[in-house]
Amino acid sequence: MRGLSRLPYFVGALLACQLAACDKQADERLLGYVEGDYIYAALPENGRIADLPVRRGDRVEAGDLLFALDATAATARLDGAKADLAEAERTLADLQTGERPEELAIIEAQLESARASLMLSEPRVKRRRELVKNNIVGTEDLDAAEASILEDRGRIAEYTARLAAGRLPARAEKIAAQEAAIAGFRDAVTEAQWSLDERRAVAPVAGSIEDLYYRPGEEVGAGQAVLQLLAPENIKLKLYVPEPSISGYKVGETLAVTCDGCPANLTAKIDFIAAQAEYTPPVIYSDTSRAKLVFLVEARPQPVADFQWHPGQPVEARKTATPGS
């Protein structure tokens, strides 16, 4: 009976122990890994790789040359387009200014010759009239002298008109047509320049060269990636939150991050929370997370001097302590 009287104490102790186990706080670690959003450098033109100054692991700055295709044909097209444009512009200038100075000088000389001839013809007619009155010459000589005056006056009128016309620009319709042709040649120059520029690939942002897919001398198709570039701002952490805890995380929240061999005080800010749950990915299975429903959370790590994240690197994250907690 004395042993039975102690049974409630043993049962109470067992229950207390079980309750303590049930109240044990769940592991608040978020397991995950580092991932990168890569930039795949490609060009819209196809061709042979003529220059590839970077290697795997190199650091590049925005604007640095990544690779270049052979530009011989593109340069020739640009030179030809520029020559066509220059010729068209010279033609337009000629149409707008009228005849060339040399041609106008010839017409002016012909006009002066006609005026000089008229100056000689007028006194000749007067003399012929006096000679006719005195019956020294016949009227045929007077008629010939008067015809010479008419001829000189006609030539003066003709050359005066030709000189005025030569100083005028071409007809408006012809000038408009030439201007339209020049616009087309300018478009051709722009297109040829773009085609030449697009045979050089430069880094859009600073980053590191993660992989190379071609070598100098190899042919690459239009739109095919030649190398892989990773910018620091394109690093993200993929973390998995257990389904019962997802309501406790919000976009913009800061997490404390740890990883093997990493410096202390690493942080990341949540910028995406998946709307649907999934099963724990095999890559982050642990003794506490196996086969549980989780939500994917993506966080952007805050920059740290002299530290580089590596895609595929395992990480752990926790909520940062709040004041008064």
Residues 39-68+200-230, CATH architecture: Beta Barrel (2.40)
Distance between CA atoms of 95 and 172, rounded to whole angstroms? Answer: 9
Looking at residue 158, what is its pLDDT?
79
The CA-CA-CA angle for residues 70, 72, 75, to 5°, reads 115
Find out whether 40 and 225 touch, Cβ atoms under 8 Å. Answer: yes
CATH class of 25-37+232-319: mainly beta
Looking at residue 61, what is its pLDDT?
96
Q: How do the pLDDT tens digits run along the chain, 325 residues long?
A: 444 444 344 334 433 444 444 444 455 789 999 999 999 999 998 999 999 999 999 999 999 999 999 999 999 999 999 999 999 998 888 777 655 666 767 777 887 887 777 677 777 767 767 666 666 656 676 667 677 777 777 787 877 877 776 665 556 778 888 889 999 999 999 999 999 999 999 999 999 999 999 999 999 999 999 999 999 999 999 999 998 899 999 999 999 999 998 998 899 999 999 999 887 776 665 655 555 788 999 999 998 888 889 999 999 999 986 544 4
Pairing of strands 207-212, 59-60: antiparallel
* Burial class of 2 by CB neighbour count within 10 A (0 to 12, 13 to 18, 19+): exposed
Distance between CA atoms of 51 and 54, rounded to whole angstroms? Answer: 9
| CATH 2.40.30.170 boundaries in the chain | 25-37+232-319
Find out whether 76 and 195 touch, Cβ atoms under 8 Å. Answer: no
CATH class of 78-194: mainly alpha
Long-range Cβ pairs for the range 304-309 (8 Å, 24+): 304/263, 304/266, 307/262, 307/263, 307/266, 308/208, 308/232, 309/34, 309/232, 309/235
Looking at residue 203, what is its pLDDT?
96
| CATH 1.10.287.470 boundaries in the chain | 78-194
Pairing of strands 254-258, 293-301: unpaired
- Its sign, for the CA torsion 223, 228, 230, 234, is positive
| CATH 2.40.50.100 boundaries in the chain | 39-68+200-230
Distance between CA atoms of 262 and 310, rounded to whole angstroms? Answer: 11
Distance between CA atoms of 75 and 77, rounded to whole angstroms? Answer: 5
